């Protein structure tokens, strides 16, 4: 009987945790969409962490835009 109660409580806690994680990921994804530069920098960080020797298209465009901005200023 005690095990059934413990399992029930644990299931409720797991469900609540999962719902919280889904809400956090939705909030994070909406922030990333509204801030594309953050997404690009995050992509670059991911590539560095995987030690890959290529850049994403987004990062290349970001670099080009940054160079243009430096030339204009």
pLDDT of residue 16: 72
pLDDT at site 59: 56
Provide Rg for the chain, Cα atoms.
21
| Per-residue confidence in pLDDT tens, the chain, 73 aa | 566 676 777 777 777 777 777 777 776 666 555 556 555 555 555 555 555 455 555 555 555 566 666 666 5
Q: What pLDDT is recorded for position 58?
A: 57
Give the up-direction half-sphere exposure of residue 72: CA atoms within 13 A in the CB hemisphere: 6
Of 71, 72, 62, nearest in space to 35 by CA: 62
Per-position DSSP letters for 32-60, written without gaps between them? HHH-HHHHHHHHHHHHHHTT-S---HHHH
């Amino acid at each position: 009987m005690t095990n059934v109660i413990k399992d029930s409580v644990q299931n409720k806690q797991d469900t609540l945790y999962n719902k919280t994680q889904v809400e956090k990921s939705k909030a994070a994804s909406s922030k990333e969409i509204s801030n594309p530069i953050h997404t690009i920098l995050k992509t670059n960080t991911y590539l560095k962490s995987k030690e890959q020797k290529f850049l994403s298209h987004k990062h290349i465009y970001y670099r080009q835009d940054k160079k243009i901005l430096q030339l204009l200023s």
